[in-house]
Structure 1
Amino acid sequence: MSTPSNLPSFWSRLSIAFGSFFKSLGDAEFAARVRDDGVGPVASPPPSPAPAPAPAPAAPTLRVPTAESALQLLNLFQREARLIDFAHENLGAYSDADIGAAARVVHEGCARVLREHFTIEPVRSEAEGSRITLEEGFDAASVRLTGNVVGQAPFKGTLSHRGWRASKVQLPQLAEKHDARVLAPAEVEL
């Protein structure tokens, strides 16, 4: 089944996501609309009143994240894409064309990190835009229901995003005394 022409392709959505990310960094009003609307520059209509929620399941046991792995990944994004430099830059002084050129470099570097250190696969195998049925007991951690969610499974709907799952992670090994908090060393030209 082909994707309807009114739905953006994956690459188009990626471009929209990067553009919204960088616009949010430089435009507080835009960021507030994204936060308040939850959809970005186009406001969504107010949601329909929802039925009373079902009792909440027991809270899951929380794991303590390892800061070192997160810092290592941030270091890779800085080294390959200068992501931290880009995020800390005041974009107000630059034209959209200059920002777009910088975003292309950041995009290429981020894509390189993802390709080299992760095997990423779609959560769902169906084509975006396909009609699918989620039977009772579907994995709610892998599928998020949106729109008018009422009742119980089975749910029938349109797959708007296939989702992503990391099937393999290959971060470089670190020396025992390595300080992962140093994301990019200072540079001194002599």
Structure 2
Amino acid sequence: MGIAIAALGVLLLSALSFVVIPDPNTASIVGWVHDGGVIALSLFILGRSLYLLRAGNRSTSPAVPSPPTQPPAETAKPPAPLPTQTGEALILLSLLQEKGRFLDYLMEDVTAFSDAQVAAASRVVHQGCSAVIRECLALAPAHDGKEGERISIEASTDPQQYRLIGKVQAPPFSGVVVHRGWKTSKLALPRHTRPIDPAGENVITPVEVEVR
């Protein structure tokens, strides 16, 4: 566009240079005005042409892409605290050991003892552990019927109520009760006051020392 305007200015200047001045008395004044106007018009057209030419170059030059903005760095989240374990299971084991020598009985190798000796020891374990269970729980059979009876279990039945064994296919299930299960309506375990270390050692029952 700037080149076209410049060409038009040149044509206008050429045309003005051939304008005839009719009165010779005023030729000098008009000629001076004529020459000054031609110069001014030429400068204006030239400046305007350069301005438009520079503006055209700026508009056609490719835009420099701005550097991509970096996403804000994510702050590291603090690790979730481990749930506090109160150790009711350790309390229950401690009571079973204290009242019925439960852990002693389970951890002892009874292969070297006779059946009579094992039976005598199990009586003590049975009495002590039974007392602890009755104190902490209110146990009852989970199934009101009898062992050996046939029952039908629908698909909508609570899965925690029954444990299926044998040839399990699609519901409804039909089978024989081999164990009635257990349920409790009370759970009264003493609360463990010390924190439990899952990766460390936790004392169930302390070492017994007889002072002499």
Q: Same fold (TM over 0.5)?
A: yes
Q: Shift in Å at residue 112 of structure 1?
A: 1.1
Residue 108 of structure 2 aligns to which amino acid in structure 1?
E
What is the aligned partner in structure 1 of residue 148 from structure 2? 129
> Is the radius of gyration larger for structure 1 or structure 2?
2
What is the aligned partner in structure 2 of residue 172 from structure 1? 190
Q: Percent identity?
A: 41
What is the aligned partner in structure 2 of residue 188 from structure 1? 209
TM normalised by structure 2 equals 0.52
What is the aligned partner in structure 2 of residue 95 from structure 1? 114
Higher share in helix:
2
Q: Shift in Å at residue 173 of structure 1?
A: 3.7
Q: Shift in Å at residue 67 of structure 1?
A: 6.0
Distance 1:179 1:135 in 2: 42
Match for residue 128 of structure 2 among 104, 109, 118: 109
Q: Shift in Å at residue 89 of structure 1?
A: 2.1
Distance 1:154 1:74 in 2: 39
What is the aligned partner in structure 1 of residue 137 from structure 2? 118
Could you say what the CA RMSD is over the residues aligned between the two structures, in angstroms? 2.4
Q: Shift in Å at residue 178 of structure 1?
A: 8.5
Which structure is higher in RCO with an 8 Å CA cutoff and minimum separation 6?
Answer: 1
Unaligned runs of 5+ in 1: 1-63
Q: Number of residue pairs matched?
A: 125
What is the aligned partner in structure 1 of residue 171 from structure 2? 153
TM normalised by structure 1 equals 0.58
Q: Shift in Å at residue 86 of structure 1?
A: 1.9
Change in CA separation of 1:65 and 1:123 when aligned onto 2, cut-off 3 Å: farther
Change in CA separation of 1:95 and 1:156 when aligned onto 2, cut-off 3 Å: same
* Helix, strand or coil at the partner of 1:161: coil
What is the aligned partner in structure 2 of residue 23 from structure 1? none
Residue deviations 1:135-155, cap 9 Å, x none?
A: 1211222201122222x2211
- Kept in 1: contact 2:86–2:191 (CA 8 A): no
Structure 1 residue runs of 4+, over 3 Å off?
Answer: 64-67, 176-181
Distance 1:148 1:125 in 2: 24
* Helix, strand or coil at the partner of 2:89: helix
What is the aligned partner in structure 1 of residue 27 from structure 2? none
Distance 1:65 1:92 in 2: 40
Alignment of 1:1-190 (within 5 A): 66=85, 68-150=87-169, 152-174=170-192, 176=193, 181-189=202-210, 190=212
